[in-house]
Chains A and B, each alone.
Chain A
Amino acid sequence: MSVSISMTVNGWLHEAAVEPRARLLDFLREDLGLTGTKEGCGTGDCGSCTVLLDGKPVNSCLTLAAEADGASVTTVEGIAADGYLNPVQAAFVDAGATQCGFCTPGFIVMATALLDDIPNPTEEEIRYGLAGNLCRCTGYDKIIRAVQTAAAGDSPRIPLRPNSDAS
Chain B
Amino acid sequence: MSRYEYVAPSTIDEAKDVVAEYGDDVTPLAGGTDLIVQTRERSRPVRVLMALRRLQALGGHELQDGILRVGAMASAYEVARSPTVQQVAAALADSAELIGSIQIMHRATVAGNVCNAAPSADTGAALVVLDAEAVVVGPEGTRPIPIHDLIQGPGQTALAPGEFVQDIVVPVAPPNSGSAYERHTPRKEMDIAVVGVGAFVRLDEAAEKIEEARVALCAVAPIWPRSLKAEGAIVDVRITSIDWHDVGQGAAADASPISDLRGSASMRTELLKVYAPRVIKLAIARAQQNSRNGA
Binding site for B on A (CB under 8 A): 1, 3, 19-21, 23, 42-45, 47, 50, 53, 56-59, 61-64, 66-67, 69, 110, 113-114, 128-129, 131-133
Complex contact A44–B103 (CB within 8 A): yes
Cβ-neighbour of A43 out of B37, B77, B189 (below 8 A): B37
The answer to whether the Cβ of B235 comes within 8 Å of any Cβ in the partner chain is no
Within 8 Å by CB of B190, from A3, A20, A53, A131, lies A131
Are A21 and B53 in contact, CB atoms less than 8 angstroms apart? no
Residue of A nearest to B33 (CB): A62
- Cβ of B188 and Cβ of A128 under 8 Å apart? yes
CB atoms of B190 and A56 under 8 A apart: no
Cβ–Cβ contact B102 & A129, under 8 A? yes
Q: What 3 A-B pairs are tightest by C-beta distance, nearest first?
A: A132-B101, A20-B6, A131-B189
B184 on interface, CB distance cutoff 8 Å = no
With A19-B3, A47-B103, A63-B36 already in contact, 10 other A-B pairs whose C-beta atoms are closer than 8 Å: A23-B36, A44-B103, A44-B104, A47-B101, A53-B106, A59-B101, A61-B36, A64-B36, A64-B49, A133-B101
Residues A110 and B102 in contact, CB atoms below 8 Å apart: yes
Chain B residues with Cβ below 8 Å from A43 are 37
Q: Is B258 among interface residues, defined by CB-CB distance under 8 A?
A: no
Chain A CB within 8 A of B153 CB: no
Complex Cα spacing A58 to B190, Å? 14
Residues of B within 8 A of A (CB): 1-6, 8, 29, 32-33, 36-37, 39-40, 49, 51, 53, 77, 100-104, 106-107, 187-190
CB-nearest residue of chain B relative to A49? Answer: B103
| Complex interface: chain A residues within 8 A of B77 (CB) | 56
Query: Can you list 19 A-B contacts (CB < 8 A)?
Result: A3-B6, A21-B1, A21-B4, A42-B40, A44-B104, A45-B190, A47-B101, A53-B106, A56-B106, A59-B33, A59-B103, A62-B36, A64-B32, A69-B8, A110-B103, A128-B189, A132-B101, A132-B102, A132-B103
Residues of chain B lying within 8 A (CB to CB) of residue A45: 190
Shortest CB distance B4–A (Å): 6
- Answer whether A57 and B102 are a contact pair too, CB < 8 Å, given A20-B5, A63-B107, A131-B188: yes
Q: For the complex, give the distance between the alpha carbons of A155 and B1 in Å.
A: 44
CB neighbours (8 Å) of B1 from chain A are 21
Are A132 and B37 also in contact (CB < 8 A) when A1-B5, A63-B107, A66-B51 are? no
Q: Which residues of A contact B4 (CB under 8 A)?
A: 20-21
Select one of B32, B100, B102 contacting A63, CB under 8 A: B32
Most A Cβ at <10 Å: residue of B8, B40, B102: B102
A67/B189 in contact, CB under 8 A: no
Chain A residues within 8 Å of B3, by CB: 19-21
Nearest chain A CB to B272's CB is how many angstroms away?
Answer: 26
